[in-house]
Structure 1
Amino acid sequence: MGKPQVVSDQSFEQDVLKSDTPVLVDFWATWCGPCRMVAPVLEDVANEQGEKLSVAKLDVDANPITAGRFGVRAIPTMILFKNGREADRIVGYLPKPQLMQKLTPHLTMAAPSAAATPTASSTATPKAPPTPPTPPLGGSPTSSTPNAGVGVTKIH
């Protein structure tokens, strides 16, 4: 894909919510130090994930409607949209390995036939229970984001 795509209040519906691929949207502002820290990480992710993931940037100062619509109260906030819905939310700076650890489960698809047909190895080894979903507003005291609140700038 290359560089993250710039989206706006006007283009958000078409570019993000109607996208055929998952889209990671970085809600940011020019004056935000942690936002500048996460920018090169997101460029790397955009370059490496190619067709699996699109990366977009939305300036919260220039596009307050969309930021408000999704309850963005601190930046950087990265929201992963999949099939037009929020699939995950990360508030604050995350180094690339931790960011990819959060994103990867949303980018891989299990083959339907593998789940339908048990094999000798799958019947002998019990499977771990699924990971509970991330709460809708990352950064709360119960958030599953490991460093929620780190590298965060509150929006007034």
Structure 2
Amino acid sequence: MLVVDADAAPATIDRTELLSGADWAFGLWDDLPEAGAKWAPRKVGALIDAAAELPDVLVHRLADAAVLIEAVGEPPLVIATGAVPETGRWAREAVVIVAGNQVSATALSVVNELAPRLVAVAGGENAIEETIEALRDLLDGTGLMAMERALALEV
């Protein structure tokens, strides 16, 4: 389990409990290794190597306001709070969580630059409605869902 920005959790959340089950915790603004323009997901190992441990989950900086989480065998996960750059083909399989103060603009950047499999919007009701309206005719196969506070997303 990864925990992002534990220090920003609401006061009603016990930080110690939140972090107790985490395999890794990081902040969206931490100094992370850059993904780079030529980044591509690692490949799943051969079945003969099934006894080997899965590689670690890696977290990369995709842009100033976006991180890329890579777990071998899973779709890339991007958490974006601002504009994202154009990337490689891997983005078509990505799941992107859009959050922050500019949800609609960030979601528009994500759809235009990444064309991911799914965009999950984390925000208040008004921000979500504004985002749906802005993206309604632009999705072209990209799924769109609204995230609710305190609920997990499993893809």
Question: TM tier, shorter chain?
Answer: under 0.3
Q: Considering only CA atoms, is the larger Rg found in Structure 1 or Structure 2?
A: 1
Task: Name the one with the larger helix percent.
Answer: 1
Q: TM-score by structure 2 length?
A: 0.22
Higher-RCO chain (CA-CA 8 Å, sequence separation at least 6): 1
